Structure 1
Amino acid sequence: MTQLNLTDNERQFIIDTIKQGKPLPKEYIYKLYADDEDVFLFWNGRNETVTNAVLPFHSIEHIDEPRREIEKEPELFDTTGRQLKGWTNKLIWGDNKLILSSLVNGPMREEIEKEGGLKLIYIDPPFAVGADFSYQITVNGEDVTKQQSIIEEIAYRDTWGRGISSYLSMMYERLRLMHQLLAEDGSIYVHCDWRVNSVLRLILDDIFGNDNFLNEIIWRRHYSHNDGNRYGCVHDSILWYSKSRDYIWHRQYLSYDEDYVKKNYNLIDERTGRRYRSVSMNAAGPGPGRYFGKIFLNPPPGTHWRWSQERIDEAIKEGKIYFTSTGVPRYKQYLDETEGLPVQDIWLDFYGVSSQSNELLGYATQKPEALLERIIKASSNEGDLVADFFCGSGTTAAVAEKLGRKWIAADLGRFAIHTTRKRMIQVQRELKKEGKPYRAFEVLNLGKYERQFFFGVPANIPQEKQEQLLEAKQEKYVSLILEGYSAQRVHEHKYLHGKKAGRFVHVGPLSVPVTKTLVEEVFEECRQNLITQVDILGFEFEMGLVPYIKDELRQRGVDIRLRYIPKEVFDKRAVEKGEVKFYDVAYVQVKPYIKGKTVKIELTNFTTYYTQDDLEELEQSLKKGGSKVVIENGQIIKLTKDQNGILQREVLTKNWVDWIDYWSVDFDYEDKKEIIRIEENGEVKEVWTGNYIFENIWQSFRTKKNPKIELITAPHTYEKAGKYKIMVKVVDIVGVDTSHIVEVEVK
């Protein structure tokens, strides 16, 4: 047993401090672990425990542009060309800590391993204390800034809550999980800048090992930048680590320019007339090393550095080796035999996404496709699985799809998921047009299990046990939601849980949607007690409730308002600061056109009550001569204050269509049940959730090139006569989903 180098006084001080429950001074921590390692990475809040929760993934949408002409592998596709088998790419909405934990420890790990494992991870995590994660949307020619959601703000504030130590804790746990998920021959690229590259390097060394550090890549994202009183910051860093010494690597090259050729390939072979350069026959042989611009003396097994005698003999025979007057051997490296200039660890050949670029999606942290193309080509093979767990606008997934890789992309932000969904559909369309292959992808989330996890109800226990736990915590749950809604608890009614500003409040269930039956029970209690106004809060709502309430229940004397409960209610800080926003459920109207077995759907109306800004506050703070675009109560308004202080309001959303960013249709919604895989008592079983997967058959959405949206679908023809339920999904310009079901009968 190692003896601690401590005096008696130091030992007693440590014992007394621990007994009193006080924090131990850092110098004593270092002394206690002095013999363990030469260097120990420690920060306030470091925790070796990594989340191991396993939450089932809900498949809420399946997207595969129909391929009508099938020539190869018919067993993989149905008669319309929709993918039936094989890997389906994953776009996952939620907290990436829970997503990673569920991938590492859950049933989907087996699916990943069947594909050869996860070969490459690229992440571009938040790395600026004051980072701006808002995004731009355009309405009738005016740019509108959409702020990040409260849940994103809270997650980000938590990241920097205690400064660099809390940032390290956030990244450390996630990087530990990513390390576990990577295949043995996989690697990770971590994008950062000068603010955090030094500390990220330390925790990556801690997790992956210093021996597996390959490069710090310097990417010049700007040509010039004015930083005032210091040198302009024009570059980011990309830290590249491997899981082991045996990893995937393909040397990347730059095309030679004319000046480089003239300067370096300045010799002409008199025998062949070909340009060449004279290369030293050193021990490692000609050419660059294994990494981006580095040569190592001890290469990994399987790396052939030295010249074999066979190769030397062949080169002499071909006239490629000659000897100088002093007898030193030299090698002729012909220009037409080289692939170009090897890429080094400083990348100067492309910049960030410009305001004029066709790639631009209005996303502040968007990176150029060329950057990801180089990384994916260098560190993965065609058919490999790559991932991005801070996917933002979806650049990694888009480039992976174009390069024939499989992918997983995840993000906390609703708008990030929506932006990536649109982008990937556009990639599918482009590849289809070019006659190139592509894969289906599905949109996943953790659904009710994520909410239950926040509330302390595990997913890996029997359903009956889950319901018992939820019932035991019902009062705590109701009180929590009412506090987030700033409502007072009332106890004299069965279905009316609270009251706010003259309106009664019902808190819907945690794990199932608010149903028509439940709404009717709330209505009946209101009617019997002569209550005329009530808000019903829920995480999910049964289809068709809004028109039913509008057309029937309000006509019978009770003003019922449906409002979504946001995830933020589970964050105590957001509740205490009054930052939790509940939004009204939007209203969608559609009209079917039926002719025989063919149906078309027209989108006829959309109503939302979304509010982002405090109009009165902005009016007072707006400076003379200034203008501001705001969102209030379902209207996007441009405020302008002239030099005399006179305020003018211009409503930009002149028509309900202005709110629509994307809509899609599943013409046979109940065709495919949603089956999830749940692990209970060490066994994995498949369970039907009671829901169906939305199979995205047709969609229309706005793009930078084409901001117009179609309001009538292409015709869809059913194979058999009968009744069908059609689901219409609308995503508005701020990224919120609203769905509607209509039933049709074809003959």
Structure 2
Amino acid sequence: MHPSQDVKIAKAKGRPMLQWVGKKPLSTVPAYPAQHIERFQLETASDPVADLNWSDWPERYPRGGLLFHGDNKDVLAHLLANGFRGKVKLIYIDPPFDSGADYVRKVNLRGTASAKLDGEDYSLGEQVQYTDIWANDNYLQFMYERLLLLRELLSDAGSLYLHCDPRRGHFIQCIIDEVFGAENYRNELIWKRSDAHGNVGQGTEHFGPVHDKIFFYSKGDRPTWNLQYTPLNEDYVKGFYRYTENDGRKYKLDNLLGPGGATKGNPVYEFLGVVRAWRYSKEKMQNIYDAGRIVQTRPGTVPMLKRYLDDSKGVPVQSIWTDISMLRGWSGEKEEYPTQKPEALISRLMQSSSNPGDIILDCFIGSGTTAAVAQKLGRRWIGCDINKGAIQTTAKRLQTIIADQSVAEDAPKQRQGSLLPDADKAPPKPAQLGFTVWRVNDYDLQIQHNEAVQLVVEYLGIQRIKTDAFFDGTRGNRLVKIVPFNHPLTPLDLDSVKRELDGRPGEERDILVVTLGMELTARAWLERHNRNRPINRIHLIELRTDKKYGGIIQHEPASAEVAIQRERTPDGDMLTVEIQDVMSPSIVARLSLDTSLFRAQIPDWRAVVDCVLIDTAYNGEVFNVCLSDVPERKQEFVQGRYALPAPPAGSTVAVKIVDMMGEEILLSRQV
């Protein structure tokens, strides 16, 4: 596919229409190619993929889960250009809330939950996952563009669930009304996400915010819908199920009259001496009576229907949800990922608006909860995120789930039972036992931009501006723009600074541009711009070469010593992979130690390793996971030594080691 291919996007035609500065509808969007970088597939006796109809799945993609790393605008355009238009049954998204917060996850070494290092725990501090800093207009345009793309991907029977908080919910709903049409509004769901808010009673002058909103819209007028139920509460049972049969069955008495009477078309006839408009036909009424399910307390009174407690499915789920708890540390599914949502919440949405085998999409995948629930409930899934940590967390989580699904029959039932309304009901068969990881638009996987920005901000003494969507902060009397570190400064970057200043005629401050490196043409652009210019001069700090500030982003990569060899045994050739040492300079620096002290205090290299993956036939491009060592608990270590059937002579064996900060080490050897 050519990188400049344009994907056409239909206009939004709904009302009302919210206006903001810079509002621009999408008519076309460029679609970039995707690079296949990793594959995880478990081979089993029965292949679940063969049991599904995959005729709606584009041929260019393997049949299984799809996990994309990249800006979701690029990923959604790629999906539209490559056969997924109108194929997705359910979309759940939990986008940034425009909260002005930096979302972080706490990182610790493995196996050190209770250990101490000079009185401190082995904490690596907080790792920035993403920064939720927007100006209102930019946030609205960001959401508008993505909702336009998401609508194109939904099938006519598809549904959208958008998770947000009350601060921007009213704006978001106006945008969804415009994109999807107000007539396709289904519900505003209220989820009580916490018990109480800590700042209430400590000087704040508002009620405690303890809920989120979830907007539910359909693509058309006939969405997939499966009514869900919650159990009857004890007080209701005591108050209404007051009668008991001789065999102990509890029941209540229910109305047999037709809703709306005769005017609504309900049949009118005499039954047990009473003439009324009834709920059922006379023949069906007689059959119910013969079955002993109708009671007339005395002659002349209106007969009542016996409804047994053990026949009740429960109460249809309403729009306020207080029965799904927030995630807590002991829940068993917490990934230490900011904004992670409980599986039970996503499960209810997914079971309501999709069926096994349907395609589910989440383009803000985060910790991977949507993909995890889809995998457990027998749905096909697509996820994407711009954050590398989100991709790694999701991949590890799915590997563990799929491994559980491939073992004995009882294991998946135990793990998945909590997602099903009926605990005795067997979980759906997995739609797939593998997934692939892709990269769109060549996003850099080695350096986390958010972390690097935070480092620069602290080092240079920059004051962050939470309300400016373009400039990152101020330093003295200068506005600061930090250019993304995954590319050198170019004239295009400087043009964007100039355009921003042209839109702010009252802004007289100079500008400080911070970059990792620069093209020669960018220096010439700066000289032209600053020549004889009294205001808005642009100053530059090039971190790689600056004599005063250079060296801040010097990154010493993690390294490992791995022995890979072929061994002849009575059972045939075996491959042994033994990791002998792993060293992560980033982790050592985080702990404020030198290497020798780190070695003395933490002698087991496995403490710094999050997971180990092995490919026994690496082709240099796609990493096929043949063995995955992902400890289920943070207190556990990877094994470190592995034995596998030997591949054909001359094969290249690759070992991928991911440390606790998310840095990847890839070593390969021919055997």
After TM superposition, the score normalised by the length of structure 2 is 0.68
**Which residue identity lines up with residue 293 of structure 2 in the other structure?**
K
Distance in 2, Cα, partners of 1:476 & 1:188:
39
The superposition leaves residues 57-116 of structure 1 with CA deviations (integer Å, 9 ceiling, x where unpaired) of 22211102343xx15689799xxxxxx997210111110111011112x12427xx6xxx
1:281–1:474 Cα change, 3 Å:
same
Who is 2:308 aligned against? 334
Secondary structure in 2 matching 1:723: coil
Alignment-mate amino acid for residue 275 of structure 1: K
Kindly tell me: are residues 486 and 273 of structure 1, through their superposed partners in 2, closer, same or farther at Cα, counting changes over 3 Å?
A: closer
1:148 matched residue in structure 2: 128
1:307-706 map, 5 Å:
311-312=284-285, 314-321=287-294, 328=302, 330-435=304-409, 438=430, 439-448=433-442, 484-486=515-517, 581=553, 583-596=555-568, 597-610=573-586, 634-637=588-591, 656-670=605-619, 692-704=621-633, 706=635
Cα distance change on mapping 1:388 and 1:74 into 2, 3 Å: closer
1:225-244 equivalent positions in 2, closer than 5 A: 225-226=197-198, 227-228=200-201, 229=204, 230-244=206-220
Aligned to 1:514: none
Q: 1:203 to 1:487 in 2, by over 3 A?
A: closer
- Report if the CA contact (8 A) 1:92-1:410 is conserved: yes
- C-alpha separation between the residues in 1 aligned to 2:26 and 2:552? 30
User: What letter matches 1:127 in structure 2?
Assistant: F
Q: Which amino acid aligns with 1:696?
A: V
Structure 1, gaps ≥5 residues long = 1-35, 78-83, 287-304, 452-472, 492-499, 506-576, 611-630, 640-647, 671-690
Q: Tell me if 1:246 matches 2:246.
A: no
Name whichever of 53-62 and 331-340 sits farther off.
Answer: 331-340
1:44 paired residue among 16, 21, 31: 21
**Could you say which residue in structure 2 is the equivalent of 1:518?**
none
Does 1:129 pair with 2:99? yes
1:215 to 187, 194, 203: 187
1:109 is paired with a residue whose SS is: coil
Contact 1:136 1:146 in 2 (8 A): yes
Pick one of 624, 643, 658 that aligns with 1:714.
643
- CA 1:594–1:378: 2 relative to 1, 3 Å: same
Rounded Cα–Cα distance in structure 2 between residues aligned with 1:740 and 1:450: 19
Tell me how far 1:53 sits from its aligned partner.
Answer: 1.6
Residue 330 of structure 1: CA displacement? 3.8
- Partners of 1:430 and 1:239 lie apart in 2 by 33
Going from structure 1 to structure 2, the CA distance change for 1:129 and 1:51 (only over 3 Å counts) comes to farther
Indicate the SS of the match to 1:58. strand
Matched, 1:59 2:36: yes
Distance in 1, Cα, partners of 2:171 & 2:637? 46
In structure 2, distance between residues paired with 1:411 and 1:502: 28
Q: Which residue of structure 2 aligns with residue 202 of structure 1?
A: 174
Give the CA deviation at 1:122. 0.8
SS at match of 1:52: strand
Q: 1:148 aligns to what SS in structure 2?
A: strand
1:382 CA drift (Å): 1.1
Which residue is equivalent to 2:662? 735
Distance in 1 (alpha carbons) for counterparts of 2:557 and 2:47: 45
Change (3 A) 1:652 1:638: farther
Q: TM-score, normalised by structure 1?
A: 0.62
Q: Give the C-alpha shift of residue 206 in structure 1.
A: 1.3
SS of match in other structure, 2:389: helix
Counterpart contact for 2:295–2:304, Cα < 8 Å: yes
- What SS is found at the alignment partner of 1:715? strand
Rate the CA distance shift 1:342–1:582 in 2: closer, same or farther, 3 A: farther
What is the distance in 2 between the residues matched to 1:147 and 1:198? 31
The residue that corresponds to 1:290 in the other structure is none
CA drift at 1:120: 0.7
Question: Does 323-332 or 379-388 show the bigger shift?
Answer: 323-332
**Paired residues of 2:165 and 2:211 also in contact (CA < 8 A):** yes
> Aligned AA for 1:659?
V
CA distance in 2, matches of 1:41, 1:483: 35
Change (3 A) 1:504 1:73: closer
User: C-alpha distance in 2, partners of 1:428/1:357?
Assistant: 20
Shift of 1:326: 6.4
- Quote how far apart the aligned CAs of 1:578 are: 10
Q: CA distance change for structure 1 residues 705 and 736 in 2, over 3 Å: closer, same or farther?
A: closer
- Measured in 1, the distance between the counterparts of 2:385 and 2:179 equals 23
Q: Give secondary structure in 2 for the equivalent of 1:589.
A: strand
Q: Which has the higher contact order (CA 8 A, sep 6+)?
A: 2
Q: Relative to structure 1, is the Cα distance of residues 284 and 713 closer, same or farther in structure 2, using a 3 angstrom cutoff?
A: farther
Letter in 1 for 2:127: Q
Cα offset for 1:350? 2.1
How many correspondences in the alignment?
516
Q: What is the DSSP-based 3-state SS (H/G/I as helix, E as strand, rest coil) of the residue aligned with 1:130?
A: coil
Structure 1 partner of 2:5 = none
Question: Does structure 2 retain, via aligned residues, the 8 Å contact 1:90–1:443?
Answer: yes
| Per-residue deviation, 1:183 | 0.8
Q: Is the 8 A contact 2:32 2:441 kept in 1?
A: no
Is the contact between residue 665 and residue 726 of structure 1 (CA under 8 Å) also seen in structure 2? yes
SS in 2 for 1:695: strand
Asked if the contact 1:603–1:711 (Cα under 8 Å) also holds between the matched residues in 2, the reply is: yes
| Contact kept in structure 2, 1:414 and 1:736, CA below 8 Å | no
Aligned-pair identity in percent equals 31
Pair 360,692 (structure 1): closer, same or farther in 2 beyond 3 Å? same
- Give yes or no for contact 1:366–1:393 (8 Å, CA) kept in 2: yes
Instruction: Decide whether aligned partners of structure 1 residues 708 and 277 sit closer, same or farther in structure 2, where only a CA change above 3 A counts.
Output: same
Q: 1:187 aligns to what?
A: 159
Q: Distance in 1 between matches of 2:84 and 2:662?
A: 30
SS class of match (1:583)? coil
The residue identity in structure 2 corresponding to 1:635 is A
**Preserved contact between residue 667 and residue 716 of structure 1 (Cα < 8 Å):** no
1:278 equivalent in alignment to 2:207: no
CA separation of 1:217 and 1:704: change in aligned 2, threshold 3 A: same
Instruction: Say if 1:92 and 1:411, in contact at 8 Å, map to a contact too.
Output: yes
Partner amino acid, structure 2, of 1:667: T
Q: For 1:55 and 1:600, locate their aligned partners in 2 and report how far apart those are by CA, in whole Å.
A: 40
Contact 1:45/1:169 (<8 A) preserved: yes
For residues 726 and 349 of structure 1, do their structure 2 counterparts lie closer, same or farther at Cα, with a shift above 3 Å needed? same
Residues 711/56 of structure 1: CA separation in 2 closer, same or farther (3 Å cut)? same
Q: SS of the residue aligned with 1:692?
A: coil
Given that 1:55 and 1:450 are in contact with CA atoms closer than 8 Å, whether structure 2 keeps it comes out as: no
Q: State whether residues 26 and 148 of structure 2, in contact with CA within 8 Å, keep that contact through their aligned partners in structure 1.
A: no
Equivalent residue of 1:233, what SS?
Answer: coil
CA drift of 1:427 comes to 0.5
Structure 1 vs Structure 2 CA RMSD: 4.0
SS in 2 for 1:246: coil
